[in-house]
Amino acid sequence: MYRAVFFFLRRLPAEAAHHLTFGLLRAFAFVPPFAWMLEQMTTFRSPRLETRAFGVDFPNPVGLAAGFDKDAKGPDALARLGFGFIEIGTVTAEAQPGNPKPRLFRLTDDRALLNRMGFNNDGARAAKARLERRSPRAKAIVGVNIGKTKVCPPEKAPDDYATSASLLAERAAYCVVNVSSPNTPGLRDLQAIEPLRAILVAAREALDAGSPNRRVPLLVKIAPDLADEDIDKVADLALELGLEGIVAVNTTLSRGGLRTEKGAVEALGNGGVSGAPLKKRALAVLERVRDRVGDRVAIIAVGGIESADDAWERITAGASLVQIYTGFIYGGPFTVRSIAKGIDARLREGGFATIADAVGSARRS
The catalytic residues are 181
Pick from 9, 50, 13, 65: nearest CA to 328: 65
Q: How many CB atoms lie within 10 A of CB 44?
A: 18
Instruction: Report yes or no: 170 and 217 within 8 Å, Cβ to Cβ.
Output: no
d(CA 21, CA 147): 25
Pick from 126, 122, 210: nearest CA to 162: 210
CA–centroid distance for 210 within its chain: 23
Per DSSP, what are the bridge partners of residue 96? 121
The 104-107 sheet, strands edge to edge: 104-107, 112-115, 272-275
Pick from 278, 186, 179, 270: nearest CA to 224: 278
d(CA 339, CA 335): 6
* Amino acid, res. 338: S
d(CA 189, CA 333): 36
- By DSSP bridging, strand 112-115 and strand 272-275 are antiparallel
The two most distant CA atoms of the chain are separated, in Å, by 54
